[in-house]
A and B are shown apart, each in its own frame.
Chain A
Amino acid sequence: MRKILFWISASALLIISQVATAETVKIGFVTTLTGGAGAIGNDMRDAVELALDHLGRKMAGSDVKMFYEDDTFKPDVGKQKTDKLVKKNKVHFVSGYIWSHVLMASRNSVVGKGPFMISSNAGPGPVAGKLCHEDFFSTSWQNDQTTMAMGEVLNQLGIKTLYIMAPNYAAGKNMVAGVTRTFKGNIVGKDMTKFPAQIDFSAELAKIRSAKPDAVFVFYPGKHGLQIIKQYAQAGLQGKIPFYSAFTVDSLNLPRLKGLAEGSLMTQFWAPDMDNAVNKRFVADYRKMTGRYPTFYAAQSYDTIMLINSAVEAVNGDLSNKAAMRTAMRKANFPSVRGPFKYGNNHFPIQNFYLRKVIKDSEGNFTTSIVKTVYTNHQDTYAKNCKMSW
Chain B
Amino acid sequence: MNWILLLEQIMNGLQLGVLLFLLAAGLTLIFGIMDLINLAHGSLYMLGAYLAATFTNWTESFFVGLLLTLPACMVLGMLLEIIAIRNIYTRSHLDQVLATFGLILFFNEFVRLLWGPIGLDIQLPEILNGSVELIFGIRYPAFRLAIIAAGIIVAILLYLLVSHTKLGMLIRAGASNRQMISALGVNINLLYTIVFGLGAALAGLAGLMAAPIMTVEIGMGEEILILTLVVIVIGGVGSIRGAFLAALLVGFIDTVGRSFLPDILGFFVTNDVADTAAPAISSMLTYVLMALILAIRPQGLFPPKGV
Query: Which residue on chain A has the smallest CB distance to residue B258?
Result: A203
Whether B213 lies near A36 (C-beta < 8 A) is no
CA distance A191 to B283 in the complex (A): 14
In the bound assembly, the distance between CA atoms of A157 and B143 in angstroms comes to 34
Residues of A with C-beta under 8 A to B282 = 194
Choose one: B9, B212, B278, B283; the contact of A197 (CB below 8 Å). B283
| B274-302 near A? 1/0 per residue, CB < 8 Å | 01101110110000000000000000000
- Would you list which residues of chain A between 353 and 377 have a CB under 8 Å from chain B? none
Let me know if A277 is at the binding interface, CB within 8 A.
Answer: no
- A192 — nearest CB in chain B belongs to which residue? B279
Residue B117 interfacial (CB < 8 Å): yes
Given contacts A203-B9, A223-B119, A230-B213, contact A236 B2 (CB under 8 A): no
Partner of A204, one of B121, B129, B213, B259: B259
B4 within 8 A of A: yes
Q: How far is the CA of A197 from the CA of B259 in the complex (A)?
A: 16
Is B15 close to A, CB under 8 A? Answer: yes
Assembled-state Cα–Cα distance A206/B8 (Å):
7
B214, CB-defined interface residue at 8 Å: yes
Q: Measured between alpha carbons, how far is A227 from B216 in the docked complex, in Å?
A: 10
Which of B112, B119, B130, B143 has the most chain A CB within a 10 Å cutoff? B119
Contacts of B8 in A (CB 8 A): 206, 209-210
* Chain A residue nearest in CB terms to B142: A234
Distance, CA A206 to CA B14, complexed state (A): 14
Q: A235-B141, A236-B141 are known contacts. Are A34 and B255 too (CB-CB below 8 A)?
A: no
B42 sits at the interface (CB 8 A): no
Q: How far is the CA of A206 from the CA of B275 in the complex (A)?
A: 18
Question: A10–B152 Cα gap in the complex (Å)?
Answer: 84
A356 to chain B, nearest CB (A): 23
From 164 to 193 in chain A, residues with beta carbon under 8 angstroms from any chain B beta carbon are 168, 190-193
Interface membership of B92, Cβ < 8 A: no
Q: Mark A202-218, 1 if CB is under 8 A from B, else 0.
A: 11101101100000000
- The answer for the CA separation of A230 and B12 in the assembled complex, in Å, is 16
How far is it, in angstroms, between the C-alpha of A187 and the C-alpha of B122 when the chains are bound? 34
Interface stretch, picked from B75-83, B186-194, B217-225, B238-246, is B217-225
What chain A residues lie within 8 Å of B283 (beta carbons)?
194, 197-198
> Residue B184 at the A interface, CB < 8 A?
no
* B219 in contact with A256 (CB, 8 Å): no
Q: Mark B126-148, 1 if CB is under 8 A from A, else 0.
A: 00011100000001011110000
**Nearest CB on A from B298, distance (A):** 27
In chain B between 217 and 271, which residues have their CB closer than 8 angstroms to a CB of chain A?
Answer: 217-220, 223, 255-256, 258-259, 262
Contacts of A231 in B (CB 8 A): 141, 213
The 8 A CB mask of B100-135 against A (1 = contact, 0 = none) is 000000000000100001110101100001110000
A187 to chain B, nearest CB (A): 10
Which B-chain residue is minimally distant from A190 (CB atoms)? B275
Bound-state Cα–Cα, A199 to B49, Å: 15
9 contacts between A and B (CB under 8 A): A36-B119, A36-B215, A36-B219, A198-B258, A199-B223, A209-B139, A234-B124, A234-B129, A235-B139
The interface of chain A, by Cβ under 8 A from chain B, is 33-36, 38-39, 42, 168, 190-194, 197-200, 202-204, 206-207, 209-210, 223, 226-227, 230-231, 233-236, 252, 256, 258
